[in-house]
Amino acid sequence: MITDQKILGEGLGFDDVLLVPQRSSIRSRFSGEISTAARVVRGVPEIQIPILSANMDTVTGWKMATTMALGGAFGVIHRFMSIEEQVKEVRRVKERMRVMEDHPPVIPASATIADARRLLRERERGYVIVHAGESFNGSFLGIATPRDFDAGASDTPLDQIMTPLERMWTVPPGTTLEGAVDVMKQRRIEKIPIVDEAGHLVGVYTMKDHEYYQHYPHASLDAKGRLLVGAAIGVQEGDIERALRLVEAEVDVLVLDIAHGELDYTQEILRRLKITERVTTPIAAGNVATIDGARYVRDCGADGVKVGVGPGYVCETRDVAGVGIPQITAILNAAKAFQNDQERIPIIGDGGIRKPGDVAKAIAAGADTIMIGSLLAGTEESPGEAVEQDGILKKMVRGMASASAFEKRRALGESTTSAEDYVPEGRTTFTPYKGKASKVLKKLRGGLLSGMSYSNARSISEMHEHAQFVIVKNPLGPEQRRPLQS
């Protein structure tokens, strides 16, 4: 009797299952018949590649998040930095491109070339809007670009070197980006202000933004055509302030980052943010691995659930705490938890992906997207430099519960526990340098398309419906699993 109650069943990891080949009418996985578009969380536009880069400090900063979103995936910026730094990183991603610039860098005509250069560095733009008086009220005098700066010394006032409004081409409000591009091409100009009848600046279109859209047709974009980005928050008192500042910076998704998402904290933080602070930005929460865990997070009001307790490459939770659920079972549990929901919240399968086939398996089990840490840690875009070890270029990857990450968290005031008392549940290691993250994305998406084609699934929801598994009696334990070679 006791044994029946104690043992809840068997758990399946990625290597314990294989997808069953199905009768399929899909001609080819390359024919464009399959869509991998997926929901990250409730309330955010779909992305084209169902992959999220993990909120780990050796995986996702602004560079990784930008690359992920440009390629059609999604990045979650880690939280192991000051609020100011994290806000800055989110802003950098959001500032990368937009259909129309409605907050251009503005500067008074009395400011100097040196002032304008400083503003451009801050805002990472190629022009400034020059206005009369001290504050900008919509009316403007002209535009100045770095090319104009060459015409004067650094203390020259901008009104002496700018291109004045009378000599500029403009378009009226309502003009599309494509319409504006036609004018810019005809006039051989790089940017064009949108100006209303009263002479007020409504926004600016640039050729650069247009080129981004051409170059990255699958980019993950918000309603204003800016890259989507997520950011992690914790459960300390200061994290409410962190969340509010990130929301102000227009982050698209907040990710409540707790190793054990079934804590009371999840409910407290979600209540405070959603009810007291009236935050409308979607919030994903986790991590959970059981049916009850997934329902708890959903009932706390989360807009997405992060699933995975212990499957990560640098995780040691299973060894140290003896806790975990193999990842296929964990995802199946979340899918079961929501199976009768009218509008089920998306499931993020977090951790354990070592090979492209694991992505297809995670999605077949019910995940909408998967989150990846170590496979992306060795890429050009992950934070940190590559180092040479035994003649091989490598990059560091560390668990966020590792001893070295804990040192950093202590320095940030996140914990008062002493280093001697801390018991790490993560490790630090080095992973071979893999070049561009887009290469990893391509490989993972390729595997997913193939898995979907074998499963006769033209969409992620068809994959959820059609895919079936067989259980493999795997002679290799999880420790022997081979990581993906680049």
* Residue 350 near ligand XMP by CB under 6 A: yes
Residue 245 beta carbon to ligand XMP: minimum distance, rounded to whole angstroms: 23
Which segment (165-173, 182-190, 304-312, 411-419) binds ligand XMP by CB under 6 A?
304-312
Residue 408 beta carbon to ligand XMP: minimum distance, rounded to whole angstroms: 12
Which of 171/400 has CB closer to ligand XMP?
400
Residue 402 beta carbon to ligand XMP: minimum distance, rounded to whole angstroms: 5
Residues in 422-441 that interact with ligand XMP by CB under 6 A:
425-426
* Residue 310 near ligand XMP by CB under 6 A: yes
Which segment (93-101, 341-349, 351-359, 458-466) binds ligand XMP by CB under 6 A?
351-359
Interface residue with ligand XMP among 77, 253, 353, 360 (CB under 6 A) is 353
Instruction: Identify the active-site residue in 51, 315, 405, 449.
Output: 315
Interface residue with ligand XMP among 371, 440, 441, 463 (CB under 6 A) is 371
Count, residues near ligand XMP per rule CB under 6 A: 27
Which of 303/425 has CB closer to ligand XMP?
425
Which segment (61-69, 189-197, 327-335, 347-355) binds ligand XMP by CB under 6 A?
347-355
Residue 51 beta carbon to ligand XMP: minimum distance, rounded to whole angstroms: 11
Interface residue with ligand XMP among 201, 254, 401, 452 (CB under 6 A) is 401
x/- mask, ligand XMP, residues 270-289, rule CB under 6 A, reads: -----------------x--
* Residue 203 near ligand XMP by CB under 6 A: no
Residue 317 beta carbon to ligand XMP: minimum distance, rounded to whole angstroms: 4
Please choose, from the candidates 282, 297, 301, 356, the residue with its C-alpha nearest in 3D space to the C-alpha of residue 330.
Answer: 297
Residue 438 beta carbon to ligand XMP: minimum distance, rounded to whole angstroms: 17
Interface residue with ligand XMP among 351, 366, 378, 383 (CB under 6 A) is 351
x/- mask, ligand XMP, residues 116-155, rule CB under 6 A, reads: ----------------------------------------
Angle of helix 83-94 versus helix 238-248 axis, rounded to 10: 20
Which of 66/287 has CB closer to ligand XMP?
287
* Residue 60 near ligand XMP by CB under 6 A: no
C-beta contacts of 444-448 below 8 A and 24+ residues apart: 444/49, 444/51, 444/353, 444/356, 444/359, 444/372, 444/375, 445/36, 445/49, 445/51, 446/29, 446/356, 447/355, 447/356, 447/357, 447/359, 447/360, 448/36, 448/50, 448/356, 448/359, 448/360, 448/363
Which segment (108-116, 183-191, 328-336, 365-373) binds ligand XMP by CB under 6 A?
365-373
Contact 303, 41 (CB under 8 A): yes
* Residue 383 near ligand XMP by CB under 6 A: no
Please choose, from the candidates 445, 52, 50, the residue with its C-alpha nearest in 3D space to the C-alpha of residue 229.
Answer: 52
* Residue 374 near ligand XMP by CB under 6 A: yes
* Residue 61 near ligand XMP by CB under 6 A: no
Which of 286/451 has CB closer to ligand XMP?
286
* Residue 54 near ligand XMP by CB under 6 A: yes
Residue 52 beta carbon to ligand XMP: minimum distance, rounded to whole angstroms: 9
* Residue 304 near ligand XMP by CB under 6 A: no
Q: Identify whether 315 is a catalytic site residue.
A: yes
Residues that bind ligand XMP (CB under 6 A): 54, 56, 259, 287, 308, 310, 312-317, 350-353, 371-375, 399-402, 425-426
Catalytic residues, which ones? 315
